[in-house]
Amino acid sequence: MKSLQLFLMALFLGATALGQTQATASFSASVTIIEPIGITNTSDMNFAAIDAKGGGVVVLTPDNGRFASGKVQLADGTDVSAASFRVSGQQGFSFSVTLPDGEYLLANGSQNIILKDFTSNLEGAGDLTSRSSEFRVGATVEIQPGQNPGTYKSVGYLPVTVHYN
Amino acid sequence: MKKITFILFALLSGTAFGQATATESATGTAEIVKPIGITNTGSSILDFGKVIVPTGASGSVQITAAAAPVRNLTGLDVIGTTFSSAEFAITASANNNYKITIPETELSGPGDPMPLVPISNLPLVSNKGDQILYVGGTLTVNDGQTEGTYSGIITVTVEYE
């Protein structure tokens, strides 16, 4: 009887001791994978026809509005267009846009027009409420007095960059 | 419950002593070793944060094993600054070797599984008693990985040798 009791105790102790030589704990690991952000130019910027006259400044707004100041006069505005872009990326995320900085040239032979002061219709960040979003970009041109008639085009590309916030 | 166990142990030791009066040197080598244990203390999540899909080749994101972990990126980019290593408290007697096992695993989600190799701030075998264990890791993100949330559970084992 005594030996049986001892044996039972020993068994109990053995099991406890074995359990105490090892312990475990768990953790979870996680990551959220996000679709890369992309941008496509869907419409180029076009100031349409302008009569230089005494020169001045023409502002093209992101919503296709044109405003002249100085002696320059607006002519046929049929083709007026702000630049537009489509952004693709992860739904539910916001992004910001970096517009061209400083002054760029529109050229026609040896004649140039200065293009500057880029603006977008995004106030601060854009939101990818669906998988794609659009925004528009306007700018300002400086027309010299008696600027030669002709079609002026940008020299090289105007960089517009989007990135996730 | 632990206290009761301890009393039983003491009782049995006494009994053994009583039964071994002829071999007097037996008690000289007795050593009480506290049970080994591990519990989650700080963050219980190894969080790699928000990772942008690499294109053209796979990339990796690494979280170091430290109280203030660092996130290192290879061939990919991230959004935001939220990430964390997991933190545990190990309780063990000093001067007794114990082994720390953290298995490699995969994070699963909407796309292909991504291999995760854990990183520890402690060596595989330690004898330093109570310690804080931090677990970071290196996650490989496949080229064109499907977007979404991926997760996995990793069990850390500490064992006296």
**Which token pair is A86?**
């489509």
Q: What are the two backbone dihedrals, phi and then psi, of residue A55, each rounded to the nearest 5 degrees?
A: 85, 165
Would you state the pLDDT for residue A17? Answer: 38
Q: Is the pLDDT of residue A142 over 60?
A: yes
Q: What is the pLDDT of residues A104-141, one digit of tens each?
A: 999 999 999 999 999 999 977 888 888 889 999 999 99
The radius of gyration of chain B's CA atoms, rounded to the nearest angstrom, is 22
User: Would you place residue B69 in the very low, low, confident or very high pLDDT band (cuts 50, 70, 90)?
Assistant: very high
State the pLDDT at residue B65: 96
Hey, what are A77's tokens? Answer: 């505005």
* φ, ψ at B30 (rounded to 5°): -65, 140
ipTM of the complex: 0.75
Banded model confidence at residue A77, pLDDT cuts 50, 70, 90: confident
Q: Do B154 and A33 touch (CB under 8 A)?
A: no
The better pLDDT of the pair B98, B54 is held by B98
Q: How far is A161 from chain B (nearest CA, A)?
A: 16
Whether the predicted pLDDT of B155 surpasses 60: yes
Residues of A in contact with B155 (CB under 8 A): 24-26
* Residue A153 C-alpha, separation from nearest chain B C-alpha, in angstroms: 34
d(CA A111, CA A34): 46
pLDDT at A107: 94
Q: Structure tokens of A21?
A: 């030589």
Output the average pLDDT for chain B.
Answer: 84
| 3-state DSSP assignment of residue A49 | coil
Nearest to B50 among A26, A32, A36 (CB): A32
Q: Which residues on A lie below 8 Å from B153 (Cβ)? A: 26-29
CA B72 to chain centre: 21
Mean pLDDT across B1-23: 41
Q: Which among B8, B145, B154 is the nearest to A26, CB-wise?
A: B154
Give the DSSP letter string of chain B. Answer: -HHHHHHHHHHHHHHHHHHTTT-GGGGGG----PPPEEEE-S--EEEEEEEEPPSSS-EEEEE-SSSS--EEEES-EEESS--B-EEEEEE--EEEEEEEE---EEEBSSSS-EEEEEEESS-SEEEESSEEEEEEEEEEE-TTPPPEEEEEEEEEEEEE-
- pLDDT digits over A21-68, tens only? 899 999 999 999 999 899 999 999 999 999 999 999 999 999 999 999
pLDDT digits (tens, 9 = 90+) for B82-96: 999 999 999 999 989
All residues of chain A having their beta carbon less than 8 Å from the beta carbon of residue B9 are: 13, 16-17
What per-residue confidence (pLDDT) applies to B28? 57
pLDDT at position A21 is 87
Give SS3 for A17.
Answer: helix
Residue B16 identity (one-letter amino acid) = A
**Are residues A95 and A125 in contact, defined by beta-carbon separation less than 8 angstroms?**
yes
pLDDT above 70 for B22? no
Tokens representing residue B64 in the block? 């170091």
Residues of A within 8 A of B45 (CB-CB) are 27-30
